[in-house]
Chains A and B, each alone.
Chain A
């Protein structure tokens, strides 16, 4: 299957700083990328959907100014958590889907801890 690489896998940052998470499709062009958040023992919560070259569509309740998503190329999307606070600590997962491909491939996930 296709490979999606997410980096970093773990990050610890201080409260008030910003953190950028990268999601790359390594062997296919990702026309659509999804960003999820997952709390312990809970299912995936879709935060936003981004299509290459256009603005991300955020789910209700997700602050677009706090979670900045950029999908500037067909192989890279980034999620920036701005002015992070301890309640932003979570597992963030990206997935990518290519044109005409039904399956979405997941990155390895990023464990964010804000102290």
Chain B
């Protein structure tokens, strides 16, 4: 079966760094997405990885290892507004999006 695992909840301190991990087992792979979702709102796109390595975009970076079926989202210089759920999603061989359950990130002052 297809499966995406990510922690349910994480807590971090304002100004610090946090890494949210995602592991996946899918039938084929055509890219991995990270989305941010604030409560009551639709998800917004953060990053896309299809090749191994690190993609950096401002305070957010995303890493992919296809051989390990593993990705992480790294958030630096955390701000209170970063409190949200972070969703990992993988596109399989049929280009269907498989979603993780999301990681709720709580930022404390």
- The distance from the CB of B106 to the nearest CB of chain A, in whole angstroms, is 13
B45 x A105 contact (CB < 8 A): yes
Question: Are A108 and B97 interface neighbours, CB within 8 A?
Answer: no
- How many A-B contacts if CB must be within 8 Å? 42
Q: How large is the interface on B (under 10, 10 to 19, 20 to 34, 35 or more residues)?
A: 20 to 34
Q: Are B45 and A43 in contact (CB under 8 A)?
A: no
How distant is A32 from chain B, measured CB to nearest CB, in Å? 8
Q: Give the complex CA separation of A6 and B43 in angstroms.
A: 13
- Complex interface residues of chain B between 46 and 85 (CB less than 8 A to chain A): 48, 50, 85
Instruction: Report whether over half of chain A's contact residues are helix, strand or loop; otherwise say mixed.
Output: loop
Asked if B93 is at the interface (CB within 8 A of a chain A CB), the reply is: no
Q: List chain A residues, Cβ under 8 A from B29.
A: none
Pair B43/A106 contact, Cβ less than 8 Å: yes
Residue contact B91 to A102, C-beta cutoff 8 Å = yes
- Give the complex CA separation of A107 and B33 in angstroms: 17
Whether B50 lies near A102 (C-beta < 8 A) is yes
Count residues on chain A whose CB falls below 8 Å from chain B CBs: 20
A residues near B30, Cβ cutoff 8 Å: 102
A46 near B97 with CB under 8 A, answer: yes
Instruction: Give Cα A82–Cα B45 distance, bound, in whole angstroms.
Output: 31
Min C-beta distance of B21 to chain A, whole Å: 16
Q: Give which listed residue, B31, B45, B50, B97, contacts A34 with CB less than 8 A.
A: B97
Residues of chain B within 8 A (CB-CB) of A103 are 33, 45, 48
Smallest CB-CB A-B distances: 5 pairs: A109-B42, A106-B42, A43-B101, A43-B102, A93-B42
Q: Could you list which residues of chain A lie within 8 angstroms of chain B, going by C-beta atoms?
A: 1, 6, 34, 41-44, 46, 49, 91, 93, 102-109, 111
Contacts A/B (CB < 8 Å), 12 sampled: A6-B42, A43-B85, A43-B100, A44-B87, A44-B99, A46-B97, A93-B43, A102-B31, A106-B35, A106-B42, A106-B44, A106-B45
